[in-house]
Amino acid sequence: MGKIDYISDSDFNDKVLKSELPVLVDFFADWCAPCKMMEPWVEQVAEEFVGKLQVYKVNVDENPLAAASYQVMSIPTLLIFKNGAPATSIVGAVPYKTLVEKINSVLEEV
């Protein structure tokens, strides 16, 4: 079963940039309604892509440095990292199908 870990500014580099697997980072805030809309889809992706994709959540109110370093201006923003660099992003609430298509496009890149 896929699980989502919450990470902070202090462990962002180790968990995301040094990951062997591609990483989906969900930048969110507790007060953000669209973030709450995306939450079940992010959880479903974590389960669907076990062993292929690591999924983390970053609370932007508690961890402003990671969000600022990747110019996260609105939330939810989902960044997909591959080989230590952002490969693609999703800003705002999107359908589950769109989320999966973006993930698959990164996973299929050579």
Tens digits of residue pLDDT in 93-109: 999 999 999 999 999 97
Alpha carbons 69 and 96: distance in angstroms, whole number: 27
Known catalytic residues are: 32, 35
* Domain coverage including residue 46: 5-108
Residue 4, Cβ neighbours under 10 Å: how many?
Answer: 17
Question: Is residue 46 a contact partner of residue 4, using CB atoms and an 8 Å limit?
Answer: yes
pLDDT digits (tens, 9 = 90+) for 19-48: 999 999 999 999 999 999 999 999 999 999
Which CATH number is 45's domain given? 3.40.30.10
Alpha carbons 93 and 18: distance in angstroms, whole number: 27
- Total domains in the chain come to 1
